[in-house]
Structure 1
Amino acid sequence: MTLRLPRPDGTLRPYAPRAEPLRLAPRPPAPTSRTVFAAAHVVADPYATSHLGTGTGPPAGGPAGPSRHAVDWDATLAFRRHLWSYGLGVAEAMDTAQRGAGLDWPTAAELIRRSTAEARSVGGTVVCGVGTDQLTGPAAAPVPLPAIRHAYEEQLALVEGTGARAVLMASRALAATAGTPDDYRDLYGHLLRQAARPVVLHWLGPMFDPALDGYWGSDDLDAATDTFLGVIHDHPDKVDGVKISLLDAGREVALRRRLPPGVRCYTGDDFHYPELIAGDEHGHSDALLGIFDPLGPLAAEAVRALDAAGTDAFRALLDPTVVLARHLFEPPTRHYKTGIVLLAWLAGHQSHFSMLGGLQSARSLPHLARAYELADGLGLFPDPELAEARMAALLDVYGVDTAYGA
């Protein structure tokens, strides 16, 4: 059969779906030459009403309302077991899980507890996001620095209490309150001194969250980088690594060359990840990526190819996926999670295409159709017929006159 997929101009184009998926053996050995985490999405409960907000959609970049009872816990944990089965680590309760965009702190705390317990039961690796999103109120209202520090401490204690490694995420509250780079150095220094084990520091760029513009105390990225590196060099024994999500490969390479020995660079660059993970004569990036949510099995296979055969074999597998990644993460980049969840539904990892806060509506139908086409072309769907049928059903819901045609 041939699907008729919509173009942005409203016309339809024919697409012949792939007949066979990419064949990858499940439960292979874990990759060894790179540390690889997939930032995992959460599966909403489509029957819940507590995550639907007021019907006008969530505030810009913010949560839509209480989500504690709006998560399908069984499907959410099953997806994490899927990632672990391929030898990948899971980065939990981070941006891909709609943290601060439908997933509130009480639900994130429950997600962390459940996911870390599940990881122990199956021998999986997990790191967990620590932020300040329990601080609610008017978005523009500044929060005193001691309150921001306390919020971080509360979340850090919970994560470390589960035995997981913490990822210190960027804080909207800190971005709104901090007046100087020293405010960042003082607060992060305080947190690092009390951390029980080395943490991952996350620099999330404003393309992912506009509220984080000017993070580290400056709109000048060179000055911000100096402050960020200053925090690390002040406490190198307390920093396992840094996650860089700026979508700027050259800046990431320059930064990782300035890291103290033993501090990893986890790329969060969903545009340039193959070249950054492959590395150069001076080093490489490990990975903590949202795009590895839909690419999990293929990403694991690529890193094992790197282990066994080197960068050419690695890039032969992973380079073709960049077109899909750049599509999913195109501006407004913060809505990439809609495409991630679409692909999870099409791949059969969940029974529906709905999201916390109703964010399944954050991307247009032509965008979703192109995501399906690119993922299908890569062979990412274990059951291509199921993916095709679900895409046809989605087209029908959107009013495409005839999903199938010449």
Structure 2
Amino acid sequence: MSGTSVDLPVFDAEGRVTGTETLALGAPGAWTRPAGPITSRVAFAAAHVVPHVGAENVPGAPAVVDWDATLAYRHRIWEHGLGVADAMDTAQRGMGLDWAATQELVRRSAAEAASVGARVACGAGTDQLGLKDVATLEPGDAGLQAVTDAYREQVHVVQDAGAQVIVMASRALARVARGPEDYARVYDAVLAEADQPVILHWLGTMFDPALAGYWGSDAVDEATATFLDLIRAHQARVDGVKVSLLDAAHEIGLRRALAALPPDGGAVRLYTGDDFNYPELVAGDEQGHSDALLGIFAAIYPAASTALQALDAGDATRGHEILASTEALGRHIFAAPTYYYKTGIAFLSWLNGFQPGFALVGGLHSGRSLRHLVELARLADGCGLLLDPPLAAVRLRAFLTTHGVVA
């Protein structure tokens, strides 16, 4: 077996290992870094955090972050011309990253971005309330005020750090809101605090089941109408919206509705959060395109950057082809249960040598099976995203041995 060949397990329908087959890892893709800013699209990669090896990063424990590795990963994204969306669900907000660590992440990431003139936007939510506090909230004025105050605190943390604000969807608000008017009441107050246009985040239940009924309805059309009413009321304060519903047709319809807003209020971007259908949405059609704020871009940033460079150069066909070549990997990483996609992003980061161990805060690296991760490695190799094949081979062999698969 060569230095870049790995004997991968073969599984039966029940997931039992029935044998192995040799995979010779290919060369990385011909990825390039831009000579200047990317101009054809605004693109953010939503980055994950790397835990300290050996720290008590177990479920329920405060997060202990390896700041050197975490920030180095962001610099790689910036070097490829992309912005970083930080302290978002990819960074395990509400799934392992506590409020104290989140504040430190926001401050450190914003300072690093400023040091290299890069773009960073950070999530402001309500998760400092904690699961126990949220469970005690009741619909009504007191609950709405608690949510509003929590949002305000986080907005000021992000703004004081010098980052753009992403107003995240709130589990607490989903619990206490009695209807669309309560969402409008809270967001009216939060947007009044913004010192520059914000990004509004609509996260679907496949990413967080606790967000059912967001915007006051489980019916997507009704929720969309409420969402658009909010944007119309605050158009000058909204830079864009990130929509993560994994529904390309809905996103295209919303994108066209945003394009039809009064021009004197300022353009409102549609930042796709669709980690399944991003190639077609970013490439766009004759009526426009989506910009991007994607967790998958944290995994495929060399390819994403190269594709956007092609779009900058007017080669839409090549740009789409590059993004499409990663689509199977994206659909696999974000397969149901979708909220465990962070596990796949960390696994690929580890295979590529960007973190010392395969781990996530809160013990979330246990969120995917051996079978899932083996297929992830195969797909990443197939689209040229194992960036150091000899290292990836060594780490894959060690991983398989640890899991009882010995050639």
Distance in 2, Cα, partners of 1:17 & 1:195? 52
Deviation at 1:193, TM superposition (A): 2.1
Deviations 1:124-161 (A, max 9, x none): 11000000000024353325110100000000011111
Whether 1:335 aligns to 2:330 is: no
In structure 2, list runs of 5 or more residues that go unmatched.
Answer: none
Q: Which residue of 1 aligns with 2:179?
A: 180
Q: Which residue of 1 aligns with 2:129?
A: 135
- The percentage of counterpart residues that share the same residue type is 52
Aligned pair count reads: 389
Distance in 2, Cα, partners of 1:225 & 1:52? 38
Distance in 1, Cα, partners of 2:91 & 2:298? 10
Distance in 2, Cα, partners of 1:237 & 1:350? 40
Distance in 1, Cα, partners of 2:371 & 2:245? 26
* 1:3-402 alignment runs, 5 A limit: 3-7=7-11, 8-26=15-33, 28-49=35-56, 51-53=57-59, 64-67=60-63, 70-138=64-132, 140-142=135-137, 144-259=143-258, 260=261, 261=263, 262-402=267-407
What letter is aligned with 1:263?
V
In structure 1, list runs of 5 or more residues that go unmatched.
Answer: 54-63
SS of the residue aligned with 1:243? strand
Deviation at 1:356, TM superposition (A): 0.6
Deviates more, 1:150-159 or 1:374-383: 374-383
SS of the residue aligned with 2:24? coil
Distance in 2, Cα, partners of 1:397 & 1:282? 51
Q: Tell me, yes or no, if the aligned pair for 1:131 and 1:155 is still in contact at 8 Å.
A: yes
Q: Tell me, yes or no, if the aligned pair for 2:26 and 2:381 is still in contact at 8 Å.
A: no
1 or 2, which has the higher helix percentage? 2
What letter is aligned with 1:141?
T
Q: Tell me, yes or no, if the aligned pair for 1:17 and 1:384 is still in contact at 8 Å.
A: no
Deviations 1:363-400 (A, max 9, x none): 00000000001001111122101001101100000001
| TM-score between both structures, scaled by the size of structure 2 | 0.93
SS of the residue aligned with 2:27? coil
SS of the residue aligned with 2:386? coil
Distance in 2, Cα, partners of 1:17 & 1:265? 40
Deviations 1:178-237 (A, max 9, x none): 011000011101111221110000000000000001100001110000001110000100
Deviation at 1:16, TM superposition (A): 1.7
Runs of 4+ deviating beyond 6 Å: none
Deviation at 1:306, TM superposition (A): 0.9
SS of the residue aligned with 2:156? helix
What letter is aligned with 2:25?
R
Distance in 1, Cα, partners of 2:24 & 2:50? 26
Distance in 1, Cα, partners of 2:9 & 2:113? 39
Distance in 2, Cα, partners of 1:27 & 1:122? 15
Distance in 1, Cα, partners of 2:205 & 2:22? 35
Distance in 2, Cα, partners of 1:105 & 1:134? 5
Deviation at 1:91, TM superposition (A): 0.2
Distance in 1, Cα, partners of 2:207 & 2:112? 29
- How big is the alpha-carbon RMSD for the aligned residues of Structure 1 and Structure 2? 1.3
What letter is aligned with 1:142?
L
Deviation at 1:308, TM superposition (A): 0.8
Change (3 A) 1:127 1:328: same
What letter is aligned with 1:12?
G
What letter is aligned with 1:315?
H
Deviation at 1:13, TM superposition (A): 4.0
Deviates more, 1:252-261 or 1:321-330: 252-261
Deviates more, 1:24-33 or 1:193-202: 24-33
Q: Tell me, yes or no, if the aligned pair for 1:83 and 1:90 is still in contact at 8 Å.
A: yes
Deviation at 1:9, TM superposition (A): 3.9
Deviation at 1:65, TM superposition (A): 2.8
SS of the residue aligned with 2:81? coil
Change (3 A) 1:254 1:26: closer
